């Protein structure tokens, strides 16, 4: 039962619209399947780190205001940076049109971008403080099967999103490149604004 619950939670968690999936789509359109998958694999780093912290009883550490503020500010900065770069990069997408179907080695930047976005997501802290603390109270075997199901669900969604993103590489035109760059860039900046506003409210900055 725990493994199916974990699988369901993993699918919902990984499929939720967010910066990781937006960046995956942008990378997939530009660099193909391997680049988009690298973002998703990188994002698993953050999931594993927060899962281990929650299960090892480090919830008090995650509740620290200073840490949450630092993560919030860092996350906001990263989202703005990626959003602006996405808008500016539309010409780079157009340049890929002549290399449709070519699969190159995944970019290291794609992997670390996925890891950074995952670690800099304060919502991940909230998720693991609520779910992780509950799982930590389960017997060792049940908590292990939950995590196996959770990461299996994340893996299925990661593969699906990566395939979906790379699908658009074969239909790359100037109009598509411009649209993808602006939509992804504005959405990332929007996430940054929302996160910055939430941080400000949490710490009474306004």
Q: Where do the structural domains in the chain lie, given as residue ranges?
A: 2-202
Tell me what pLDDT residue 71 has: 75
pTM of the model: 0.75
Tell me what pLDDT residue 87 has: 81
Q: What are 15-19's contacts with CB under 8 Å, separation 24+?
A: 15/157, 15/161, 18/121, 18/123, 18/191, 19/79, 19/82, 19/117, 19/121, 19/188, 19/191
Give average pLDDT by consecutive 10-residue segment, the chain, 206 residues: 81 84 85 89 87 67 68 82 79 54 61 89 72 60 79 92 81 70 84 82 69
Tell me what pLDDT residue 101 has: 43
């Amino acid at each position: 039962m725990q493994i199916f619950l974990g699988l369901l939670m993993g699918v919902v968690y990984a499929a939720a619209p967010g910066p990781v999936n937006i960046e995956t789509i942008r990378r997939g359109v530009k660099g193909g399947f391997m680049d988009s998958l690298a973002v998703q694999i990188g994002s698993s780093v953050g999931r594993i780190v927060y899962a281990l912290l929650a299960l090892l009883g480090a919830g008090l550490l995650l509740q620290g205001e200073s840490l949450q503020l630092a993560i919030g500010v860092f996350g906001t900065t990263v989202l703005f940076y990626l959003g602006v770069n996405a808008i500016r990069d539309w010409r780079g997408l157009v340049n890929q049109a002549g290399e449709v179907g070519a699969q190159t080695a995944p970019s290291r930047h794609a992997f670390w971008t996925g890891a950074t976005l995952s670690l800099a997501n304060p919502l991940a802290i909230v998720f693991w403080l609520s779910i992780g603390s509950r799982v930590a109270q389960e017997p060792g075997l049940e908590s292990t099967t939950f995590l196996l199901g959770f990461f299996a669900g994340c893996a299925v969604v990661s593969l699906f999103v990566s395939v979906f993103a790379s699908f658009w590489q074969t239909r790359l035109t100037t109009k598509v490149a411009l649209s993808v760059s602006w939509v992804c860039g504005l959405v990332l900046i929007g996430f940054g604004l929302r996160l910055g506003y939430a941080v400000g409210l949490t710490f009474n900055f306004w």
